Amino acid sequence: MDFYLDTADINQIKEIDKWGILRGVTTNPSIIAKTGRDYQDAVSEVLAIMGNRHVSVETLKDDADIIVEQGKKYREWGNNVVVKVATTEEGLKALSQLRKLGIPTNATLIFSLNQGILAAEAGANYISPFVGRLDDIGSDGIGLVEDCVNYVEENGLDCKIISASLRSPQHLEESAKVGAHIATCPYSLLQKALKHPLNDLGLKAFLDDWEEAKRKLKK
C-alpha cells in the first residue's frame, strides 16, 4: 500500500518526505484555502517538491466542460498532476473526456459502491472512498474500500483505490488489510501511526543498558 499525504502544508510534506515513504500528495480547495495562499502558487510548490510523484489537484466547478478545461490547465503545471474530480453526473462526463485525452484522474467523494463502480467505468484512474465521513454517519467506510478494491480487481480495470478521509491508525491498518492500493493520510495520523507506548519503554531500556555497559567498561 502506497502512502500519500493529504495536505498542502509545505513543511509537513518536506518532513514526511524525509521518512522515505511518501509516494504522492492529495490536495483540495479546502486544504489550500486554510493556507491562505493562491491556488496555483500553493500547488506549484507542492509539485516541485514531489518531482514525478503524483499530486491530486481538485477541479473547482461542477460542469463537465469547465472541469475538462481546468484539468488541461492543471496538467500544464506539471506532468505529475492527477486531476481530482467530484463524483457527480457532470464529473462522470468529465472523467470520460479526460481519460480520452490521456489525463489521469482521481474520482473523489465516493460514498457508495455504485458511485465507485460508475467512476471506475467512466475512466477514473483512481477512486477515493471517504472512510471517516462514512463512519461518522454509522456506515462501514472500510467495507466500502474493500468492495471497491474487489470490483476493480475482479473486472481487470485500470483503476486504483485510494482510502481517504482516514481518522485513526486503525483506519490505516484496516485499509491495508482489505487491499487498498493507496492510503492518503493527514500529517497528524502518520505521526500517531508511528508511535506505540512500548517503543518508548523499549528505547529507554536499550539506552539505559548501553549506559550501564559503558560504565562497566570504564571500571
Tell me which residues are annotated as active site.
Answer: 84
CA dist., res. 65 & res. 59, Å (int): 11
CA dist., res. 195 & res. 29, Å (int): 30
**Cell of residue 179, nine digits:** 487491499
Distance between alpha carbon 113 and the CA centroid of its chain, in Å? 19
Distances (CA, A) of 213 to 200, 202, 206, 207, 209: 20, 16, 11, 10, 6
- The answer to whether the beta carbons of residues 55 and 27 sit under 8 Å apart is yes
Cβ neighbours around 206 below 10 Å, total = 10
- The answer to whether the beta carbons of residues 37 and 73 sit under 8 Å apart is no
Q: Which burial class, exposed, middle or buried, applies to 137 when counting CB atoms under 10 A from its CB (0-12, 13-18, 19+)?
A: exposed
